[in-house]
């Protein structure tokens, strides 16, 4: 979409664009949330396994980090759905999109921390601490590369860069006369 196209968008087109963005975001959350839920379920049972008494302090620390980060990831990844349910009749979809975007990003960061700590716990249990540290650092770097550097390395051509957030709010959430 060119700048000229965005300048000539009707209120209805802006509302449809926001609806589409929200649907895309909620679909992305479904994918992330299912992975976080599976990891959380795994982490819930770990301390009740017979070998738990043999874990070291660093392993228990990694477990607590993995458990708490994954729990917080699930909460933050569910936040957009709860927000939408509580505010679904209100006309401030732009605010909902901003909140959903921020909580989704936060949830993904927490999920990456949880997966990295869980990887440390598993590798330390199966191989040894030094190997677990090396793999954990490499995994953290891999997350940074794929989830941060790759998406942000090139300039992004926004469809709405010439329009302020207030203008989008004003034009996109008003009732269109029929």
Tens-digit pLDDT profile for residues 110-134 = 999 999 999 999 999 999 999 999 9
Tokens of 136: 């954990």
| Residue in the block written with tokens 């965005």 | 6
Q: Which of residues 166 and 114 earns the better pLDDT score? A: 114
pLDDT, averaged across the chain = 81
Q: What distance, in Å, lies between the first and last C-alpha atoms of the chain?
A: 26
Buried/exposed 118-153: b ≥16 CB within 10 Å, e otherwise: bbbbbbbbeeeeeebeebbeebbeebeeeeeeeeee
Q: How many angstroms separate the CA atoms of 30 and 47, rounded?
A: 28
Nearest to 108 by CA among 26, 25, 29, 13: 29
Domain boundaries, the chain: 3-152
pTM of the model: 0.74
Please say if the pLDDT value at position 177 is more than 50: no
Please say if the pLDDT value at position 168 is more than 60: no
């Amino acid at each position: 979409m060119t700048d000229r196209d965005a300048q000539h968008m009707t209120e209805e087109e802006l509302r449809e664009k926001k609806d589409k963005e929200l649907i895309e975001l909620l679909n992305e959350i479904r994918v992330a949330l299912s992975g976080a839920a599976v990891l959380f379920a795994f982490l819930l049972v770990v301390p009740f396994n017979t070998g738990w008494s043999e874990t070291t302090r660093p392993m228990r620390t990694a477990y607590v980090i993995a458990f708490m980060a994954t729990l917080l990831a699930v909460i933050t990844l569910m936040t957009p759905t709860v927000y939408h349910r509580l505010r679904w009749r209100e006309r401030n979809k732009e605010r909902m999109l901003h909140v959903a975007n921020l909580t989704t990003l936060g949830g993904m960061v927490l999920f990456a921390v949880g997966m990295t700590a869980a990887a440390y716990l598993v590798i330390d249990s199966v191989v040894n601490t030094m190997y677990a540290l090396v793999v954990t650092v490499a995994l953290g770097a891999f997350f940074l590369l794929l989830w941060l550097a790759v998406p942000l390395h090139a300039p992004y051509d926004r469809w709405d860069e010439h329009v302020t957030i207030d203008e989008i709010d004003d034009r996109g959430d008003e009732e269109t006369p029929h």
